[in-house]
Structure 1
Amino acid sequence: MALLQKDHLDGANDWYRMNPSAKKYALRDNGFEETKNGNFQFSRDLEIGKPTSPKLKITISSDLKSLKMSAVTANGLRSVNLYKNDKTAEAREKAEYLLSDFVESNIVEKAND
C-alpha cells in the first residue's frame, strides 16, 4: 500500500493531507495504533451494531508526512464507495464526522487545492 501526500475516500469530493503540525501523541490520543514498522493505523467500524459494517482505515507514515485512507468491507478485503448510494448514508456520516474530528485535532487538513 503506497502512502500518498494527499488522499480521499472513493467518491468523496474532499481531499486530505497531513497537517504539518501533527504530533505522534495526538495520533495515539485519537485512536491510531503504531504498527511494527512505525506507521500509524486507524481502523473503525462505521455502523454501530452491524457485523457487515464498512470500516474507515487510515494509515499514516512514521514521519507523519503522508497518508492513505479508504473505506473497506467488514473483512477489509474490498474498497467501498460510501458516496455511491443512500444505503451507506450512516457510514458516510460517521466517516465524515471522524475526518472532521481529525481536522480539529490538527492531524489532517483539507487539501482541495
Structure 2
Amino acid sequence: MTQNIKTASLPGASDTYRIHPDAKKYTLRDNGFTETKSGKFQLVRILGTMVSDPHAPKLKITISKDLSDLKFSTTTENGLQPVNIYKNDKFSEYRESVEAVFYGLLEGKVLERVN
C-alpha cells in the first residue's frame, strides 16, 4: 500500500518539504506551533529582522490535525494579501528569515526536505 505524501513549498522557492515521519503533536507544540479551535496546528512568524518593521510579511505554516496535510504561505503584515518573497531581491532579508525558521523545523524533526 503506497502512502500519499503531501508536500508544500512557498511560491517561487526551490525547496519542497513534507511533515517529518517522526513528528507527533507534542513535537509541533515543542517547536512553537499552537493548536487552533479546529484542531489544526499553526506556526506564524513575522519575517522582519527589526521589531519596528511594520511592513514585514508573515510566514504561516499549517499542519492538519491528523498530521497529513501541510501548507505554507507568506502574507502581508495584516494577513490579507499573499506576498511572494522569492519574486525579487528586495525581499532577500525575508527569505533569510524563512530559511532560519525552516532550518529550526528541520532540526526539530517537524519538517523534512524532499528535494
TM over 0.5: yes
Question: For 1:73-111, what per-residue CA distance to the aligned partner results, in whole angstroms no more than 9, with x for missing partners?
Answer: 101111111111121111110001101110111101012
Residue in 2 aligned with 1:55?
Answer: 58
Instruction: Give the distance between the partners of 1:83 and 1:96, measured in 2 at CA.
Output: 12
Partner-residue secondary structure (3-state), 1:57: strand
Which blocks of at least 5 consecutive residues in structure 2 are unaligned?
none
1:75 maps to a residue whose letter is N
CA root-mean-square deviation: 1.2
Instruction: Give the distance between the partners of 1:79 and 1:6, measured in 2 at CA.
Output: 19
Partner-residue secondary structure (3-state), 2:28: helix
Q: TM (normalized to structure 1)?
A: 0.91
> By how many angstroms is 1:24 displaced?
1.2
Residue in 2 aligned with 1:68?
Answer: 71
Which blocks of at least 5 consecutive residues in structure 1 are unaligned?
none
How many residue pairs were aligned? Answer: 109
The runs of at least 4 consecutive aligned structure 1 residues that moved more than 2 Å come to none
Partner-residue secondary structure (3-state), 1:87: helix
